[in-house]
A = this chain, B = another copy of it.
Amino acid sequence: MRCLSLEFHYPNGKKFIQPGEKKITKKTKEKDFTYSNRGMTLEEDLNETNQYYLASGKAVIHKKPTPVQIVQVDYPKRSAAVIKEAYFKQASTTDYNGVYKGRYIDFEAKETRFKTSFPLQNFHQHQIEHIRQVLNQSGIAFVILRFSKIEEVYLLEGKTLLFFWERMENGGRKSITFTEVAQYGHKISLGFQPRIDYIKIIDQLYHLN
């Protein structure tokens, strides 16, 4: 198979951005340059965190591949199959899952540039449904919320997210206020390795330590 770098550019030099991924402009890159975050996206930080957990034998958690509907594939002679037509599909689950001390771990990660609230439209109905199914199966489900402007990251338990989701469905506000996230969520300390140590919070919440 041909070896390809993860980043690529259009012929016009424009960088390809995955749908849902925040475009990092040079300006925000410079602005966010601190010890805990050097312009990395939440996804990059979590991938490095999971890589650290895996290498150190702490947990086995992976991001699921982006679901793609393949329509046309070419099989050139003497080289790898090339997908010539495909479309992004909506995922039916959350993005991350795996195992920690025998327990099933499942989460979705989202970031916002809002400072005072986290819009619930960041989540899809099917993701909420998946979180509900995982909780019914006694799995550990949660979301990781990043307020990128203030560089704060919170873990919000699945049941808490469901509470706010149902409040919205019952005619309430379409977001969780920052104050609510800070009160009902669990702030994750940011570090060098691991960057976003969410397992520490899971240890505390589920007494797995």
Report which A residues bind B (CB closer than 8 A): 1-2, 4, 6, 8, 10, 16, 18-19, 54, 57, 59-60, 62, 64-73, 80-93, 97-106, 130, 133-134, 136-139
**Measured between alpha carbons, how far is A84 from B84 in the docked complex, in Å?**
5
Q: Please give me the residue from chain B that is nearest to A16 by CB atom.
A: B73
- Residues in B with CB closer than 8 Å to A133 are 54, 57, 60
Taking the closest CB of chain B, its distance from the CB of A168, in whole angstroms, is 24
Supplied contacts A62-B92, A97-B98, A103-B103, 13 more A-B pairs, CB within 8 Å: A8-B72, A16-B73, A60-B130, A60-B139, A65-B68, A68-B70, A81-B87, A84-B84, A99-B134, A99-B138, A102-B104, A102-B137, A104-B104
Which B residues are in CB contact (< 8 Å) with A1?
A: 87-90
Given the interface contacts A68-B86, A83-B83, does A59 sit within 8 Å of B99 by beta carbon? no
